[in-house]
Structure 1
Amino acid sequence: MTQFSLTDADRRPNRVPFVNVEFWLIKLLAVTMGETAADYLAVNLGLGLTATSLIMSAVLVAALVLQFAQRRYVPWTYWTAVVLISIVGTLVTDNLVDTFGVPLEVTTIAFTIALTLTFIGWYAVERTLSIHSITTTRREAFYWLAILFTFALGTAVGDLIAEVFALGYLTTGALFAGIIAIIALAYFQLGANSVAAFWLAYILTRPLGASIGDLLSQPAEYGGLGFGTIYTSLLFLGVIVAVVIYMTIDYRAESQLEEESQAG
């Protein structure tokens, strides 16, 4: 990780969560729900991709306005934004492919370039890509832009491998789970760069979650288990809500202990 001297910005509270087991659990749940919820809204409710995209983009903007109004990490506002940006990121890729006929190979390359340029611009301005220093509005703007592109890219990559390369949902999920395991091994055992390891794992949890969502929700004739998008979405939403409640209670307890320690 890049070393730099502390500034006033670096001493401010971080606006995004600490990366731990709960973080990765709820992130995987969020991306899985993003896949199934996008399909449910666009297909099962009959709204269509365009109308669904416009509605969910408006809801996402409202959620991000609320998130940017916070000056420190607040679990429910942060994870609400993550779930919504997961849905919108899925819809962006689906629109390009299904509505405008852009091949998945092209969307994969385009979002890879967009994400790379975002990281280049972020580093050029802030001299770090660490999520442990998201303490200003500008850094947070770069952060959420990168998050959006990771979801769109992950959707494109997952669909490309599962559908175009015809590996199926289960094989695709196992493939990405294996790659994430290799990244984790490289970080914990081989001393790989923490920032690079985080962002690579963050990108790849999207196609992993999408594969899980499709495996559970799609009919058997398409390689799924046939639970349907609404039941799969509600299941993961319920678990997400439970985990966020736990994280909120735990975070408040930690903050209280920190304040008491500083006061003492």
Structure 2
Amino acid sequence: MPSTRMMSSKVPEVTVYFWIIKVLATTVGETAADTLNADLDLGLTGTTVVMAVLLAGALYLQFRANRYVPWTYWLAVLLISVVGTLITDNLVDNLGVPLETTTAVFAIALAVTFAAWYASERTLSIHTIVTARREAFYWSAILFTFALGTAAGDLVAEQLDVGYWKSTLVFGALIGAVALARYGFRLNAVLAFWIAYVLTRPLGASLADLLSQDRDEGGLGLGATGTTVLFLGVGLGLVAYLTVTNTDELPPEQAGAAAGLGDGADRPVSANDRLG
């Protein structure tokens, strides 16, 4: 069983920087997988093996840390984005599993992960990631959000023939609706976070395809490599900024609340915040 030794919070505060870097990482996850698979001629299987090994190394560093470290955390997010994309691509392209099936399977897998996480810890708040067991649940959920988002994004943009730019608008509008429900109608904070987190994956995938695909396929023709370099550069700049400024580090009093069922807000945790 993973250790229950208490640590400082292992995740960043949810600020505008969090969402910007998350979208950048999801976009790079889509285009980097295409670059490694096609442009560097590694093939889908070879790319999957290489990226899985790199992800294992990144998660090893992340689990060994006893607090949130921006470059370690976001490296793990970036690599898990790539691996999540590749898992879906392997199922669809190599094994011929329909996108409808992969979308449903990953949705169920994510729901089961959340159920097990809540049954064990009585919270799904990311501001309570202070033990190895909670962190294991967290990264499992993150992996399934990326795989689910890839499948759902491809299903909407390609199989349902919505198109890349329309899909980008659709998923952007859905995220906007979640924000409205949270701040206008007091939707549960933790529920709102995870819905938005899942939706940023197909948003990033649709944006990546819109920018990278050829014009005759509905894209802008920047190419997978060009899009990867552009978004990766911006993401690295933001992570460097956060490393220097500690802008997204949880205040000690909020991180300390995680020993119980804290949600990272400046107030006691309510049943609404615990999804219970």
Matched to 2:94, the amino acid is T
For 1:184 and 1:254, locate their aligned partners in 2 and report how far apart those are by CA, in whole Å.
Answer: 22
Matched to 2:28, the amino acid is M
Corresponding residue for residue 251 of structure 1: 246
Matched to 1:58, the amino acid is V
Q: CA RMSD in A?
A: 1.8
For 2:152 and 2:220, locate their aligned partners in 1 and report how far apart those are by CA, in whole Å.
Answer: 22
Corresponding residue for residue 117 of structure 1: 112
Corresponding residue for residue 14 of structure 2: 19
Summarize the alignment of residues 158-237 of structure 1 with structure 2, pairs less than 5 Å apart: 158-237=153-232
For 1:204 and 1:8, locate their aligned partners in 2 and report how far apart those are by CA, in whole Å.
Answer: 32
Distance 1:21 1:254, change over 3 A: closer
1:13-43 per-residue CA deviation (whole Å, 9 max, x = no partner) reads 1000000100000000000010000001001
Corresponding residue for residue 262 of structure 1: none
- Equivalent residue in structure 1 for 2:127, among 132, 137, 147: 132
1:78-128 per-residue CA deviation (whole Å, 9 max, x = no partner) reads 000000000000000000000000000000000000000000000000010
Distance 1:120 1:35, change over 3 A: same
Distance 1:106 1:8, change over 3 A: closer
Distance 1:226 1:254, change over 3 A: closer
Corresponding residue for residue 32 of structure 2: 37
Give the Å deviation of 1:140: 0.3
For 1:217 and 1:253, locate their aligned partners in 2 and report how far apart those are by CA, in whole Å.
Answer: 30
1:141-161 per-residue CA deviation (whole Å, 9 max, x = no partner) reads 000000000000000000000
- Which runs of 4 or more aligned residues in structure 1 lie more than 6 Å from their structure 2 counterparts after TM superposition? 252-255
User: Structure 1 residue 82 and structure 2 residue 77: aligned?
Assistant: yes
Corresponding residue for residue 154 of structure 1: 149
Q: Secondary structure at the match of 1:138?
A: helix
For 1:186 and 1:144, locate their aligned partners in 2 and report how far apart those are by CA, in whole Å.
Answer: 26
1:124-182 per-residue CA deviation (whole Å, 9 max, x = no partner) reads 00010000100000000000000000000000000000011000000001000000000
Give the Å deviation of 1:214: 0.6
For 1:38 and 1:81, locate their aligned partners in 2 and report how far apart those are by CA, in whole Å.
Answer: 15
Matched to 2:183, the amino acid is F
Q: Secondary structure at the match of 2:246?
A: helix
TM-score of the superposition, structure 2-length normalised?
0.88
TM-score of the superposition, structure 1-length normalised?
0.92
Q: 1 or 2, which has the higher helix percentage?
A: 1
User: 2:212 touches 2:224 (CA, 8 Å); kept in 1?
Assistant: yes
Matched to 1:230, the amino acid is T
For 2:17 and 2:233, locate their aligned partners in 1 and report how far apart those are by CA, in whole Å.
Answer: 15
User: Structure 1 residue 98 and structure 2 residue 93: aligned?
Assistant: yes
Matched to 1:13, the amino acid is S
Corresponding residue for residue 53 of structure 1: 48
In structure 1, the gaps of 5 or more residues are 1-6, 259-264
For 1:215 and 1:253, locate their aligned partners in 2 and report how far apart those are by CA, in whole Å.
Answer: 30
Corresponding residue for residue 268 of structure 2: none
In structure 2, the gaps of 5 or more residues are 253-276
Matched to 1:225, the amino acid is L
Q: Secondary structure at the match of 1:227?
A: coil
Distance 1:167 1:180, change over 3 A: same
